[in-house]
Amino acid sequence: MARKPSERSSSETKPVSLNITPYLDIVTSIMLFMMVTSTGLVQIGVINVNAPRYADPMDSGSMQQDQDQKDQEKKLNLTVGITYKGLFIAGVGGVLGADAGGDEGDNKGTKPTIPLLTGDPACQDALAKGVPPPASCYDYSRLTMEMVRIKNQFPKESKIIIYAQPDVPYDILVKVMDATRQDSSGRALFFDVILSPEIA
């Protein structure tokens, strides 16, 4: 006598245990292989960046020592400012290559030491609108040349203060740090970076 379909399905069904251990072994091996091989392709850069230091106003002894050190050693206080109009380079003597005339609407009354490259229409448009320009609008090679010239005058100095206007893309800040760290021959310039708070 033939069995009903419901009886056939219940009698023929057997529990099946799925062994996924070989699949997990393969996935684990592939992940380990990818992690080991990818570390050789990634270059990790270390940038020496110091936060601004603040002295305790109640500690008069340390303030006196700091004043004595400042009197003994002339500081350059090299500063590079990243603005929407270009790069400002300043030191103890003021802004390098500053023009006191300035443009209309320039609240600083000075032109940047290294103005934006205006060959690209995108750079001209950003300059006209007063918005952050693309990274390609800054003259990094000229910045390195200025750093070499300053380093020749202050060979023992290694500190540099870098600040930027709000909304300046991070990759511009990194490229400025790269341009001030060393020249094309690998000579160390100003590698001890202090990031200053952004300016308005």
Please write the tens of the pLDDT for every residue from 119-162. 888 888 988 888 889 989 999 999 999 999 988 888 888 888 89
**Band of pLDDT at residue 194, cut at 50, 70 and 90:** confident
Q: What is the pLDDT of residue 156?
A: 87
Residue 47: pLDDT band by 50, 70, 90 thresholds?
A: low
* Average per-residue pLDDT for the chain: 76
d(C-alpha 111, C-alpha 81), whole Å: 12
Assigned CATH topology for domain 74-95+110-195: Nucleotidyltransferase; domain 5 (3.30.420)
Q: Which two tokens stand for residue 129?
A: 């609108």
Q: Please state, in angstroms and rounded to a whole number, the distance separating the CA atoms of residues 173 and 177.
A: 6
Under a CB-based contact definition with an 8 Å cutoff, are residues 181 and 189 in contact? yes
Q: How far lies 88's CA from each of 29, 91, 118, in Å? A: 53, 10, 17
Which pLDDT belongs to residue 2? 57
List the single range of 57-66, 80-89, 109-118 with lowest mean pLDDT.
Answer: 57-66
Specify the higher pLDDT residue, 142 or 63: 142
Query: Using a CB cutoff of 8 Å and minimum separation of 24, what contacts does 125-133 make?
Result: 126/84, 127/84, 127/85, 130/84, 131/84, 131/167, 132/84, 132/165, 132/167, 132/168, 132/169, 132/172, 133/84
> Residue 182: is its pLDDT beyond 60?
yes
Residue 10 is predicted with a pLDDT of 55
pLDDT at 1: 54
What number is the average pLDDT over the span 180-196?
A: 88
Residue whose token pair is 């709000």: 166
Q: Where are the domains of the chain?
A: 74-95+110-195
Write the CB contacts of 143 (distance below 8 Å, at least 6 apart in sequence). Answer: 80, 87, 89, 114, 176, 179, 180
pLDDT, tens digit, 9 for 90 and up, residues 16-34: 778 888 888 898 988 888 8
Q: What percent of the chain has pLDDT over 90?
A: 13
Q: Pairing state of beta strands 79-82 and 159-164?
A: parallel
